[in-house]
């Protein structure tokens, strides 16, 4: 049974089509990626799923009991401590949020070093945290809230390899625990490597792929970057290059 089903979805900005005939399905416990270049419509698609925007046509069937949405822009008030940011997130996203000790215990099961790093950030003021610290802290907190649908808009954008590793560790464990996770990115390798399957959003359409081999073959590419570039090229350029 699918937790999330999108059928024949259309969306336009001022009569200019951005998304056309979009179809997507997400099962319980799946981590599914959405690849796409900047401006392709990934954020708009997630806003539609979360009922922030309304589609022009099509249907969205969202059967989740509790969902969490990580947006691209994260700007916690600088005078807040990250412990207070944690309290705010739990208040807004969960009726039965785990306490701090329980969070650290669960993180320690995933990785003792991750639990220690999270505890260090928890004590800091937002103004003294790096971008990567804020983004990883908020992402991991959302992954621990017990939501059955978690939507992450470019969670690893602008973070270093340590935080990227921690974020993907959290995503994998959340899906193992039954959460359905939808992740957008323009980093092809991390999506192809870490997700159960993924989609490519380009030219207003969403194309599904079961694995990296299928993606490379579809776009006649020898590398992830080449496949992404070929998929993102204008249709006229693709025709000229083939």
pLDDT of amino acid 99: 86
With a CB cutoff of 8 Å and minimum separation 6, the contacts of 68 are 93, 142, 143, 145, 147, 149, 150, 151
Domain that residue 25 falls in: 2-41+53-241
Q: CB atoms < 10 A from the CB of 116, how many?
A: 12
Work out the burial of residue 128: count CB atoms within 10 Å of its CB; fewer than 13 is exposed, 13-18 middle, 19 or more buried: exposed
Domain count, the chain: 1
178: left (phi over 0), alpha (psi -120 to 50) or beta: left
pLDDT of amino acid 209: 97
* Packed helices 112-122 and 100-110: angle between N→C axes, nearest 10 degrees: 150
- Helices and strands in the chain: count of H runs, count of E runs: 10, 9
- The full DSSP string for 5-27 is EEEEEEEEETTEEEEEEEEEEEE
Structure tokens at 96: 């039965």
Structure tokens at 53: 């925007």
Q: What is the CATH number of the domain that holds 72?
A: 3.40.50.300
Chunked mean pLDDT (size 10), the chain, 242 residues: 94 92 96 95 96 95 94 90 92 77 93 94 95 94 93 93 93 95 95 96 96 95 95 58 42
CB-facing half-sphere around the CA of 143: CA atoms within 13 A = 29
Indicate whether 46 belongs to any domain: no
Indicate whether 47 belongs to any domain: no
């Amino acid at each position: 049974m699918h937790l999330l089903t999108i059928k024949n979805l259309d969306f336009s900005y001022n009569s200019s089509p951005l998304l056309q005939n979009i179809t997507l399905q997400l099962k319980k416990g799946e981590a599914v990626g959405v690849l796409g270049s900047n401006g392709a419509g990934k954020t708009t698609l997630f806003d539609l799923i979360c009922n922030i925007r309304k589609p022009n046509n099509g249907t969205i069937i969202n059967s989740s009991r509790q969902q969490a949405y990580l947006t691209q822009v994260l700007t916690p008030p600088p005078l807040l401590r990250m412990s207070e940011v944690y309290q705010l997130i739990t208040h807004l996203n969960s009726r039965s949020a785990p306490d701090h000790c329980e969070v650290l215990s669960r993180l320690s099961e995933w990785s003792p070093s991750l639990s220690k790093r999270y505890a260090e950030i928890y004590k800091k003021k937002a103004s003294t945290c790096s971008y990567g610290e804020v983004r990883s802290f908020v992402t991991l907190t959302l992954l621990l809230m017990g939501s059955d649908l978690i939507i992450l808009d470019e969670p690893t954008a602008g973070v270093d390899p340590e935080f990227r590793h921690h974020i993907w560790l959290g995503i994998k464990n959340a899906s193992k625990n039954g959460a359905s996770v939808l992740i957008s990115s323009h980093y092809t390798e991390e999506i192809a490597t870490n997700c159960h399957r993924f989609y490519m959003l380009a030219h207003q359409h969403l194309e599904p792929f079961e694995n990296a081999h299928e993606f490379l073959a579809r776009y006649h590419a020898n590398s992830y970057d080449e496949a992404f570039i070929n998929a993102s090229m204008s249709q006229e350029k693709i025709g000229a290059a083939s």
